[in-house]
Amino acid sequence: GAVVSQHPSRVICKSGTSVKIECRSLDFQATTMFWYRQFPKQSLMLMATSNEGSKATYEQGVEKDKFLINHASLTLSTLTVTSAHPEDSSFYICSAGGPGGTDTQYFGPGTRLTVL
């Protein structure tokens, strides 16, 4: 149980285009989902916290107009990287607060974004 999927697992795009990443909780409902960014050989950086039906809460330094987050249902959150640039290339990971309380998070497998 408590499985989280992400799609796509890998995406390559041209500079200036937008990319949407989906995060789904497959066998539970997630009121809260989290989006992280992981740089090579570094820890995770929390980008934003999204609650179903409300606006996401962004961490300091994260541009909300660039990283659009939508949490339209209890099983789906999306992250859209708008007008992507090479510096946005990274590993994006979502997690969902699952059974056992939202202090336990279940992670998706991540999405590798490469912007050319």
Partner 1 sequence: GDSVTQMEGPVTLSEEAFLTINCTYTATGYPSLFWYVQYPGEGLQLLLKATKADDKGSNKGFEATYRKETTSFHLEKGSVQVSDSAVYFCALGSNYQLIWGAGTKLIIKP
Residue 102 binding partner 1, by CB under 8 A? yes
**Are the CB atoms for 78 and 92 separated by under 8 Å?**
no
Of 103, 57, 100, 104, nearest in space to 77 by CA:
57
Site for partner 1 in 16-35 (CB under 8 A): 32, 34
* C-alpha distances in Å from residue 21, one per residue of 1, 28, 104, 112: 22, 19, 22, 10
Residue 42 binding partner 1, by CB under 8 A? yes
Residue 69 binding partner 1, by CB under 8 A? no
Residue 92 binding partner 1, by CB under 8 A? no
Among the candidate windows 11-19, 39-47, 61-69, 81-89, which touches partner 1 by CB under 8 A? 39-47
